[in-house]
Amino acid sequence: MRRRVDLAFTLVTACGACVACAVLGGIVAALLVRGLPAVSWRFLTEQIRLVGADGGIFYNLVGTLILLATALMVSAPVAMGLALVEGVYLAGAARWRRRVHLAIYLLNGVPSLLFGLFGFVVFVKYLDWGKSWLTGGLLLGMMMVPTVTVALTERIRGLPRAYVEAAAGLGLSRSQIIWSVILPQSLTGWLTGTLLGLARAAGETAPIMFTATIFAGATIPSGVKESPVLSLPYHIFVLSQDSFDPAVGARVWGTAVVLLGVVGGLSLLALPFRLRQHEEARHD
Amino acid sequence: MTEQVEGEGALLEVRGLTVSAGARSILRAVSLRLEARSSWAVVGPSGVGKSTLLRCFNRLVDLTPALRVEGEIRFRGVSVRGADVDVDALRARMGFLFQQPVVFPRSIRENVWFGARRVRGLGRGALEALVERVLVAAGLWEEVKDRLAEPAARLSVGQQQRLCLARALAMEPEVLLLDEPTSALDAHSRALVEDSLQRLRGVCPLVLVTHDLEQARRLTDGMACFERRGDAGELVRFERW
Ligand SMILES: Nc1ncnc2c1ncn2[C@@H]1O[C@H](COP(=O)(O)OP(=O)(O)OP(=O)(O)O)[C@@H](O)[C@H]1O
Ligand SMILES: [Mg+2]
């Protein structure tokens, strides 16, 4: 009986894994088959022409990279601050720690469309920035904060107490311990969380469509106010809605392949750090 | 005034020290006086609170919020438990060696000057000179002088403990608090650590927690014996040999 239950459980688990892999494989295969023929050096280095029917997506790629770089710089200090508050400064105050924890999970649950509306009301209208790359970067950065914070907090919590005690025993102050023991030794956690967060942010459309990105006519922004960028996800969003032109269709799939490449590249970059993290955990 | 004069001869003076975790006492009503210019052993069975006592001296207990400390401790006549004490500065004056060596994931050289660079604020030149001096004092120089840039984690446990000793010495401490520093080591490293401590005790008093009475006799001038009474450790004997 036991063995039968075991076997059934194994089968169900294996089926689940197969379905997940098949869905992923199917999406990737469909994208590659339709999109790869459109991807070429010209496609990557030329700007958009004829409302997407000709030319390439150079400034869409650049715009997405600008948004991601901004999101990285916004999320890093906020997430590090939160993780330190949660893991170090509130180490003795379980109640407050739970509250911060709850706030982080709530933030993670906020739909991306609400981030977009918030950004529209506050930055676009109230601060009168118009559409700006900075708003998009700020919003994507805030959306990444929970992922980065949780990865970092886990790493800080997993840090052997002995390191902190040894540093304290030498007379290092708390901020010195943070800078020379806690942060350097949880850097891989930060990097993992950041790369995963960026991979998700790269494909978000809702937070940037009213606040940061337009379809055509923007290059590299030179200021903040009224300085939108092009982006990969919004390009796909617009073209896939109202286009019956086959030349446009091929380019939409090509853009999707490039976006997948950005996302996949970021996830792959995170992989070695995650593996190393597991290895270290085993050695401790 | 009289109290100050009385305190001046003492390295460490403890009065009515009680440490508890919740309802349970770990150390109860410990009073003792360790004279300056001497070294002392702390002995007793496992779990009697020897490490806890040592951690009270440099206030590492503060890092364990579950432990409550009552009573008075004076280091060279000055209370270490006052609210206005600069805890970081106090810890910098007391070298601490743990039972298991703790090296940071950095090079050997950076481990040695880890505290000296950040707390004493020494410059590069002074640090380089310091590294050699304290590694010699810790009996590790010959083994590592050609590989100071290598990761410290590559050293054997015995070498790591000597590295930790060197790191503590680089702070030029006024006392060394040693929590069973040789119990995790092989015979060779134990002998080298003991040699170093033997040389050091003339310059810097030791407070040595140990299970090894022979070691206590070799390295110190007397000992405080703890035993368990009920759930808590108490000081039962104090002798000078
Ligand atoms: N954070 C804590 N919470 C509760 N009890 C604790 C805590 N830390 C230590 N204790 C208890 O205090 C007692 C004394 O511990 P301590 O490590 O000081 O003993 P020790 O004499 O150094 O023992 P050993 O010779 O094994 O190192 C132990 O019974 C331990 O369980
Ligand atoms: Mg102990």
pLDDT in tens, B119-142: 988 888 889 899 999 999 998 999
Q: Is residue A278 one of the residues assigned to a domain?
A: yes
Q: Give the ligand with the smallest distance to the CA of B19.
A: 1
Contact at CB, A171 and B114, closer than 8 angstroms: no
Residue A270 has pLDDT above 60, yes or no: yes
Q: What's the gap in Å between the CA of A190 and the closest CA on chain B? A: 18
Which ligand 1 atom is at minimum distance from the Cα of B21?
A: 4
User: Residue A169: which of B58, B100, B104 has the nearest Cβ?
Assistant: B58
Contact predicate A90/A182, CB 8 Å: no
How far, in Å, CA of B214 to CA of B211, rounded? 9
Q: Is residue A91 one of the residues assigned to a domain?
A: yes
Q: Is residue A3 one of the residues assigned to a domain?
A: no
- Structural domain containing residue A245: 39-283
B66 ligand 1 Cβ < 6 A: yes
Burial class (CB in 10 A: 0-12, 13-18, 19+), A94: exposed
Residue A213: DSSP 8-state: B
**Cross-strand bridge partners of residue B79:** B74
> Which backbone phi and psi does A172 adopt, to 5 degrees?
-70, 140
Q: What's the gap in Å between the CA of B171 and the closest CA on chain A? A: 7
Max CA pair span of chain A: 71
What average pLDDT score do residues B11-24 get?
Answer: 90
Residue B23 has pLDDT above 80, yes or no: yes
User: Residue B88: which of A92, A171, A185 has the nearest Cβ?
Assistant: A171
Q: Is residue A29 one of the residues assigned to a domain?
A: no
Q: What is the CA radius of gyration of chain B?
A: 18
pLDDT tens across A117-142, in order? 999 999 988 998 888 999 999 999 99
How far, in Å, CA of B188 to CA of B176, rounded? 22
How far, in Å, CA of A180 to CA of B5, rounded? 41
How far, in Å, CA of A271 to CA of A28, rounded? 19
> Which backbone phi and psi does B177 adopt, to 5 degrees?
-100, 115
Closest CA to A63 of A191, A232, A209: A232
Burial class (CB in 10 A: 0-12, 13-18, 19+), A252: buried
Contact at CB, B118 and A163, closer than 8 angstroms: no
* β A54-55/A48-49 pair status: antiparallel
What pLDDT sits at residue B8? 54
Which pLDDT band, with edges at 50, 70 and 90, does A278 fall under?
A: low
User: Residue A163: which of B58, B60, B104 has the nearest Cβ?
Assistant: B104
Instruction: Assess B88–A contact: CB distance below 8 Å, yes or no.
Output: yes
pLDDT tens across A72-130, in order? 999 999 999 999 988 888 877 888 888 988 999 999 999 999 999 999 999 988 998 88
Contact predicate A193/A150, CB 8 Å: yes
Q: Is residue A7 one of the residues assigned to a domain?
A: no
Q: Is residue A180 one of the residues assigned to a domain?
A: yes
How far, in Å, CA of B8 to CA of A81, rounded? 45
For B104-125, give the DSSP string: -SSBHHHHHTHHIIIII---HH
The residue written with tokens 């894994």 in the block is: A17
What average pLDDT score do residues B205-230 get?
Answer: 91
Which pLDDT band, with edges at 50, 70 and 90, does B36 fall under?
A: confident
pLDDT tens across A8-58, in order? 999 999 999 999 999 989 988 988 888 888 888 888 888 877 767 777 788
Count of all residues that appear for chain B in the document: 241
- Closest-CA residue of A relative to B178 is A169
Q: Is residue A197 one of the residues assigned to a domain?
A: yes
How far, in Å, CA of A252 to CA of B213, rounded? 80
Max CA pair span of chain B: 55
Residue A277 has pLDDT above 80, yes or no: no
Mutate which of B52, B98, B211 for ligand 1? The one with the most ligand atoms within 8 Å of its CB, which is B52
User: How far does the centroid of ligand 1 lie from the alpha carbon of residue B26, in Å?
Assistant: 7
How far, in Å, CA of A40 to CA of A10, rounded? 44
Q: Give the ligand with the smallest distance to the CA of B47.
A: 1
B67 ligand 1 Cβ < 6 A: yes
**Cross-strand bridge partners of residue B43:** B225
- Tokens standing for residue B236: 């039962």
Which pLDDT band, with edges at 50, 70 and 90, does A284 fall under?
A: very low
Residue B240 has pLDDT above 90, yes or no: no
**ipTM computed for the complex:** 0.90
- Closest-CA residue of B relative to A179 is B118
Which pLDDT band, with edges at 50, 70 and 90, does B230 fall under?
A: confident
B45 ligand 1 Cβ < 6 A: no
What pLDDT sits at residue A115? 93
Mutate which of B24, B42, B48 for ligand 1? The one with the most ligand atoms within 8 Å of its CB, which is B48
Domain CATH number, residue A150: 1.10.3720.10
- Tokens standing for residue B87: 């805890």
Mutate to test the interface with B, among A89, A164, A170 (most CBs of B within 10 A): A170
Domain count, chain A: 1
Instruction: Assess B153–A contact: CB distance below 8 Å, yes or no.
Output: no
Q: Is residue A140 one of the residues assigned to a domain?
A: yes
A125 or A243, which is more confident? A125
CA A8 to chain centroid: 37
Share of chain A above pLDDT 90, in %: 42
Q: Residues near B211 by Cβ (< 8 Å), separated by ≥ 6?
A: B43, B46, B180, B183
Chain B residues lying within 8 Å of A165, measured CB to CB: 60, 63, 98, 102
How far, in Å, CA of B31 to CA of B234, rounded? 9
Contact predicate A179/A202, CB 8 Å: no
B51 ligand 1 Cβ < 6 A: yes
What average pLDDT score do residues A235-246 get?
Answer: 80
